[in-house]
Amino acid sequence: MSNIVPIQSHFRPLLKPVLGNVDYLELKRQLERIDEILRVSGVEKAFVQSSLNYWTQTNNCVLEKIKTRSRIRFQKHSKQALRCNVARVLMGKSVRDFSVDLAAMPLLQWFCEMDQWGVIRVASKSSIDRYSRWLPEEMMRSVIAGLLRPEQDLGLEKPLDLESYFLDTTCVKANIHFPVDWVLLRDGVRTLMKGMILIRKEGLKRRMEEPELFLRRMNRLAIEMTHTRRKKDARREKKRVLRCMKKLMRVVEGHGRRYRDLLDQSWEETKWTRPQVNQILRRIDGVLERLPEAMRQAHERIIGERLVLSKDKILSLYEAEANVIVRGKAGSEVEFGNTLLLGETRDGLIVDWRLWKESAPADARMLKESLERVKGLGMEIKEVGGDRGFDSEENRGYLVKEKIYNGICFRNVDVLRREMKEDQFAELQGRRSQTEGRIGIFKNNFLGRPLRVKGFKNRCLSVTWAVLTHNLWVLARLPQEQTASKAG
């Protein structure tokens, strides 16, 4: 049942024609078509309804008891959240840059429904950042499923093909530098000292040397560590420099804990609000929590010369969920981030995805789970294609049981050579290679390279918004039905 309050539409200024720029005209055509799809498919209405439900759940209130004016204002913000996120991801902009473009471009103001007569009030950078976390991933999945209903009429020349399914995996790289052990110690000193500099500027001080001196000492040690490989006894020199780093790190850690407690207790003496103080405290706490383990890891690998298992390694002080992923590909033997599974239809619509927090299982173990999720969307898959990583005896039996044609590349070369003589199998193998291109488009044009949001939960949500925007972009590019009025 819909709880959306009907809102009377108001007069909005028309967009002025702009000539002479083909890229602008293409962007305008895409946004106009996406605007039409959002309305016709019911995705916008479903997003607003989900937002209202989530609002009442998080605030533990009854929707009917909320004032109508408040509900209308929240509905407007929900629509603007949907449209701002779609436009920002489509244009590949950061929150700050998109906020500036939104204030400067009438086209974006029209699409985000912020155009009005007189003074134009657009969303600020902070508002757009809040919009990016407007709904959790679970609710976003149900909204995206609204684009995949076979009975809806989107005005396409041909109906969507929702019977063929192709899937592949990739790595979503974390926004971190190469995880060198001693560089993690340098990162810890920088973060803690920059936090102390902010606190000291607000008048909260404890007896210590100037923070810049600690930064300078750690930078000298980092340069010295870099040059140890050129010395005669490189191994011994490396151990000596690391011991100096650890000694300096313990001093910095002690100062960091004292300043952290000082800010927590005396924050009212600063000009900051409590949320701003909490942000600084979270930054310091995150480093203090992982710093002892980073020092132990550096000691084990450099001084003790012992191996540390990949599952136990700290790759970053800031991205705790990053994993070591062995890809075995040219130019990327090993990558650092999270494994992402993507499943698409023949038309290029992404219908299933999952970002793995821990080390992902083998590709063959993902197939059944993915097909079950797709089945939950009401789609009836009749054929599936993928690379040989998804081939296994269990998967072959499952596809036979579900009466789904197996177009997955076989590991056995003799079997593969025999199956390639069948037209349907050969066609699916030719088509599944395009999924790698789809992954490249998705990662480079919609997800960002690298994905800059922090925290696994936020990365999952960013992937979900990228999927929605990508699917809208694909639908906007598909040929439309030529009606009699258009033909005339």
Tokens of 82: 């949907």
pLDDT of residue 48: 94
pTM (2 decimals)? Answer: 0.89
Residue 415 has pLDDT above 70, yes or no: yes
Tokens of 142: 């149900």
pLDDT of residue 311: 80
pLDDT of residue 417: 93
Is 34 found in the same domain as 89? yes
Report the distance separating Cα 335 and Cα 174, nearest Å.
Answer: 9
Tokens of 384: 């599936």
Is 169 found in the same domain as 204? no
Question: What would the mean pLDDT of 282-307 be, rounded to a whole number?
Answer: 92
Is 364 found in the same domain as 284? no
The pLDDT tens digits of the residues spanning 270-291 come to: 999 999 999 999 999 999 999 9
Count other Cβ atoms within 10 Å, centred on residue 233. Answer: 10
User: Contact at 8 Å (CB) between 460 and 137?
Assistant: yes
Residue 487 has pLDDT above 70, yes or no: no
Instruction: Count the domains in the chain.
Output: 3
Higher pLDDT, 453 or 134: 134
Residue 239 has pLDDT above 90, yes or no: yes
User: Contact at 8 Å (CB) between 176 and 315?
Assistant: yes
pLDDT of residue 330: 66
pLDDT band at 134 (very low <50, low <70, confident <90, very high): very high
Residue 16 in any domain: the answer is no
Is 170 found in the same domain as 244? no
Residue 63 has pLDDT above 80, yes or no: no
Of 46, 116, 109, 36, the residue nearest 75 (C-alpha): 46
Is 428 found in the same domain as 337? yes
Residue 383 has pLDDT above 50, yes or no: yes
pLDDT of residue 144: 93
Is 168 found in the same domain as 218? no
pLDDT of residue 484: 47
Is 465 found in the same domain as 359? yes
pLDDT of residue 74: 92
Residue 295 in any domain: the answer is yes
Question: What would the mean pLDDT of 124-129 be, rounded to a whole number?
Answer: 93
Residue 153 has pLDDT above 90, yes or no: no
Residue 411 has pLDDT above 90, yes or no: yes
Question: What would the mean pLDDT of 130-141 be, rounded to a whole number?
Answer: 94
CA 363 to chain centre: 21
Residue 44 has pLDDT above 80, yes or no: yes
pLDDT band at 66 (very low <50, low <70, confident <90, very high): confident
Tokens of 174: 């974390």
pLDDT band at 452 (very low <50, low <70, confident <90, very high): confident
Question: What would the mean pLDDT of 182-198 be, rounded to a whole number?
Answer: 94
Q: How far is CA 31 from CA 38, 337, 341, in A?
A: 10, 32, 28
Question: What would the mean pLDDT of 304-324 be, rounded to a whole number?
Answer: 87
pLDDT of residue 8: 65
User: Contact at 8 Å (CB) between 338 and 455?
Assistant: no
Residue 9 in any domain: the answer is no
Is 377 found in the same domain as 301? no
Domain of 348, in residue numbers: 164-176+323-477
Is 244 found in the same domain as 171? no
Q: Residue 333's domain is classified under what CATH number?
A: 3.30.420.10
Is 340 found in the same domain as 471? yes
Residue 323 has pLDDT above 90, yes or no: no
Residue 458 in any domain: the answer is yes
Domain termination residue (choose one: 254, 284, 312)? 312
* Strands 332-344 and 350-355, bridge-based pairing: antiparallel
Is 331 found in the same domain as 308? no
Residue 485 has pLDDT above 50, yes or no: no
pLDDT of residue 12: 76
Return the percentage of the chain with pLDDT > 90, whole number.
69
Please state, rounded to an integer, the average pLDDT across all residues of the chain.
Answer: 90
The pLDDT tens digits of the residues spanning 455-480 come to: 899 999 999 999 999 999 999 999 98
Residue 488 in any domain: the answer is no
Residue 15 in any domain: the answer is no
Domain termination residue (choose one: 312, 331, 354)? 312
Report the distance separating Cα 74 and Cα 54, nearest Å.
Answer: 12
Is 332 found in the same domain as 298? no
pLDDT of residue 268: 93
Residue 374 in any domain: the answer is yes
pLDDT of residue 334: 84
Of the given ranges (122-131, 205-214, 312-321, 364-373), which has the lowest mean pLDDT?
312-321
Domain termination residue (choose one: 286, 312, 338)? 312
